[in-house]
Structure 1
Amino acid sequence: MERELLMECQRNDRNAQRKVYEKMAGKLYSVCKRYLKNDEDIEEVLADSFYKIFTKMSQLQNPEIFEAWARKIAVNECLQKLRKTKELHISLEEEHVIYDSTMEHISFEKDILNLLNFLPEGCRAIFNLFAIEGYPHKEIAVMLSISEGTSKSQLNFARKKLQELLINQNI
C-alpha cells in the first residue's frame, strides 16, 4: 500500500479511505470467509474491521506492514464475532461435523477453503490461525482462552476431517 495514501487516511481523507477500502475489501472478505459462514456476519465483521482500521490508522508505525496489520484486525474481529455468538465451541465430537455427500467436485485452491465450512467453528478457527495465518499454538491458546494442548488437538482433528472430506471428494 502506498505510504502517501495511508498518510491521507490518517488525516481522515474520505477519498483515500475509499481507495484503501477498494484495494483491501476483497482480501479482507476472503479472510473473514475462512472464519465465518453467514454472509451477513462476514459483511458486519468486514465493516467493523474497516472502522477499526480507519480509526486506529494513527497507531500504524510502519506503513510497509499495513496489509498484515489489517488482516490481523480482520482475524481478531472474526474471533470476537464467534465469541459473541457463542459459536466458538471447541469440541472433538464427530456429530458437529456435517458432511454433505451432494457436494460437487471442488477445484483445488478456492473451494478447498470452502471445505472449512464443514468443520466445527472452533476447529476452523484454530486451523485458520495456525495453518493459514501462521500463529503458534501458544498465541492461539491465549487468543481463544484455551490450553496449548487443546489448540494442538483441535488442529489435528481439523486436519483429519479435512483429509476425510478430500478423500470423499477424490481430490
Structure 2
Amino acid sequence: MERELLLECQRNDRNAQRKVYEKMAGKLYSVCRRYLKNDEDIEEVLADTFYKIFTKINQLQTPETFEAWTRKIAVNECLQKIRTNKALFISLEENMVDSPDGSPENISFEKDILSLLKFLPEGCRAIFNLFAIEGYPHKEIAAMLSISEGTSKSQLNFARKKLQELLVNQNI
C-alpha cells in the first residue's frame, strides 16, 4: 500500500479511506469467506474490520505491513463473530419448556451436539472443545497441544464438518 495513501487515512481523509477500501475489500472478503458461511455475517464482519482499520490506523508502525495487519484484523473479527454466534451453542436454560403435565422438558440442541462429540477423533474433539466451548484462540491451543496454528484451524474445520454430517444423519 502506498505510504502517502496511508498517511492520508491517518488524517481521516475520506477519499483515501475509499481508495484503501476499494483496494482491500476483495482480499479481506476472501479472508472472511474462509471463516464464515453466511453472507450477512461476512458483510457485518467486513464492515467491522474496516471500522477497526480506520480507527486504529495510527497504531500501524510500518506501512509495509499494512496488508498483513488488515488480514489479522479481519481474522480476529471473524473469530470474534464465531465465538459470539450462539446459534450452535444454545444455553440449557433457554431450552427448558414446560411439558403438558407441567414438568420441565429439555429439548437442548446443545446436548445433542455435545453427545456427538464422542464420534470425533480425539485430536479434533480436543481442539473443538478448546476453541468452540472454552473460547481459547488458535494460538493458545497450538501452544497447549504443541501443534501449529494452521493445524489447530484445520482440525477445527474438520470437526465442524464432521459434526454437520453427524447432525444431518441424526436428523437433529
User: TM range, normalised to the smaller chain?
Assistant: 0.5 to 0.7
In the TM superposition, what are the counterparts of 1:1-171 in structure 2 within 5 Å? 1-86=1-86, 93=117, 140-142=138-140, 147-148=144-145, 155-156=154-155, 158=157
Structure 2 unaligned residues grouped into runs of 5+:
90-112, 121-126, 162-172
Matched position secondary structure for 2:37: coil
- Distance across 1 between alignment mates of 2:146 and 2:86: 21
Q: Distance in 1 between matches of 2:85 and 2:160?
A: 24
> Computing the radius of gyration over CA atoms, which structure comes out larger, 1 or 2?
2
Aligned residues: 123
Distance 1:153 1:41 in 2: 23
Deviation at 1:161, TM superposition (A): 9.5
Q: Bigger relative contact order, structure 1 or 2, given CA contacts below 8 A and separation 6+? A: 1
Q: Deviation at 1:83?
A: 0.5
Question: 1:154 Cα shift?
Answer: 6.9
% identity of equivalent residues: 64
Q: Is the 8 A contact 1:82 1:88 kept in 2?
A: no
Distance (Å, rounded) in 1 between the aligned partners of 2:159 and 2:86:
24
Pair 95,154 (structure 1): closer, same or farther in 2 beyond 3 Å: farther
How far did 1:140 drift?
A: 1.6
* CA RMSD across the alignment: 3.9
CA contact (8 A) 1:140 1:148 kept: no
Q: What residue identity is the alignment partner of 1:148?
A: L
Q: Report deviation, 1:94.
A: 8.7
- The structure-2 alpha-carbon separation of the partners of 1:146 and 1:4, relative to structure 1 and needing over 3 Å to count, comes to same
**In 2: Cα distance, 1:67 partner to 1:31 partner:** 12
Instruction: For structure 1, list consecutive stretches of 5 or more residues without a partner in the other structure.
Output: 97-121, 127-137, 163-171
Q: Which runs of 4+ in 1 moved over 6 A?
A: 87-92, 159-162
CA distance in 1, matches of 2:54, 2:145: 33
Whole-Å separation in 2 of the counterparts to 1:140 and 1:154: 7
Please, what TM-score do these two structures have when normalized by structure 2? 0.58
When residues 154 and 20 of structure 1 are mapped into structure 2, their CA distance, relative to the original with a 3 A threshold, is: closer
